[in-house]
Amino acid sequence: MATASEKEGVEPHSELQLITSAWLKRHADLFRKATFHPFIQSIRNGSLDFNCFKRWLGQDYIFVREFVRFLASVLLKAPRDTANEDIDLILGGLVALDQELSWFKKEASIWEVDFLGTNPQKANKDYCRFLENLMQPEVEYVVIIVALWAIEVVYCDSFAICLEADAKTPPALLEACQRWGNEGFKQYCVSLQKIADKALNNATPDVQQKAETAFVEVLKNEVEFWNMSYDDQN
Ligand code: HMH
């Protein structure tokens, strides 16, 4: 007999993603603000002031340096019984960050952005402090794997918008958009979501609540990060 999900044509693993899917619905407005931000819209319609892109580049490099530590902490905190392929996925994410940092350095020379002379702005400092708090020993693995998924999926969905068929993204910004908007990165995000839901399914309601709060906090931090990049008054 066909299961309910087969009848509806939903992929068989989808029951594992119920919790994160419910959050995406519950916080759809905020998620939209984090992914369809004026910064992204203006890349997509070709009107972004390149100075905003340069500001984003310098700030995001600082963020990614902190994110390396965060990702390493996710790997360290993974419970002993974590499936090997889940560990390998996170390890692959860390390896990709090595290439990402090289890409940032290459872009810095193209755009003449001096990373060493760049100071983190408030939204960036706040976001990095949020990551630092998540790295504390008492924070559960479930909470940080959810945060990791949320951080990645926002960039994935945002930059994918700039690659849609009718987008007028300037050629100079295409590489950045492809870095996070490509199909491989999307698959990485889907895999992270599955790991997050697996962990959530085994968590107590109390910890599930903490993870949802972390998810919402990531979205708010992402909105502030775009605001900062788009407008230097922030
Ligand atoms: C602010 N969020 C921010 N920067 C990034 N590079 C990502 C998410 C994705 O790694």
Can you tell me the distance from the alpha carbon of 123 to that of 39, in angstroms, rounded to the nearest whole number?
15
Give the model's pLDDT for residue 3. Answer: 46
Mutating to test ligand 1, I would choose from 60, 131, 175, 218 the residue with most ligand atoms within 8 A of its C-beta, which is: 60
Give the model's pLDDT for residue 2. Answer: 45
Amino acid at position 155, single letter = Y
Give the model's pLDDT for residue 160. Answer: 98
Catalytic site includes residue 222? yes
Give distance in angstroms: CA of 179 to centre of ligand 1: 11
Give the model's pLDDT for residue 15. Answer: 54
Backbone angles phi, psi at 49, to 5 degrees: -70, 125
Give distance in angstroms: CA of 155 to centre of ligand 1: 6
130-188 residue pLDDT tens: 999 999 999 999 999 999 999 999 999 999 999 999 999 999 999 999 999 999 999 99
Give distance in angstroms: CA of 37 to centre of ligand 1: 14
Give the model's pLDDT for residue 17. Answer: 63
Residue 7 has pLDDT above 50, yes or no: no
Q: In a 10 Å sphere around its CB, with 0-12 CB exposed, 13-18 middle and 19+ buried, how is residue 99 labelled?
A: exposed
Give distance in angstroms: CA of 8 to centre of ligand 1: 34
Mutating to test ligand 1, I would choose from 31, 61, 107, 155 the residue with most ligand atoms within 8 A of its C-beta, which is: 155
Backbone angles phi, psi at 97, to 5 degrees: -70, -30
Of 140, 152, 222, 224, which residue is the catalytic one? 222
Give the mean pLDDT of 4-33: 75
Give the mean pLDDT of 28-34: 98
For 104-128, the three-class secondary structure string (H helix, E strand, C coil) is HHHHHHHHCCCCCCCCCCHHHHHHH
Mean pLDDT, the chain, rounded, equals: 93
Please report which confidence band the pLDDT of residue 73 belongs to, taking 50, 70 and 90 as the band edges: very high
Give the model's pLDDT for residue 180. Answer: 98
Residues with CB under 6 A from ligand 1: 60, 63-64, 67, 151-152, 154-155, 222, 225
85-109 residue pLDDT tens: 999 999 999 999 999 999 999 999 9
pTM of the complete model: 0.93
Closest CA to 219 of 156, 147, 135: 147
Please report which confidence band the pLDDT of residue 232 belongs to, taking 50, 70 and 90 as the band edges: low
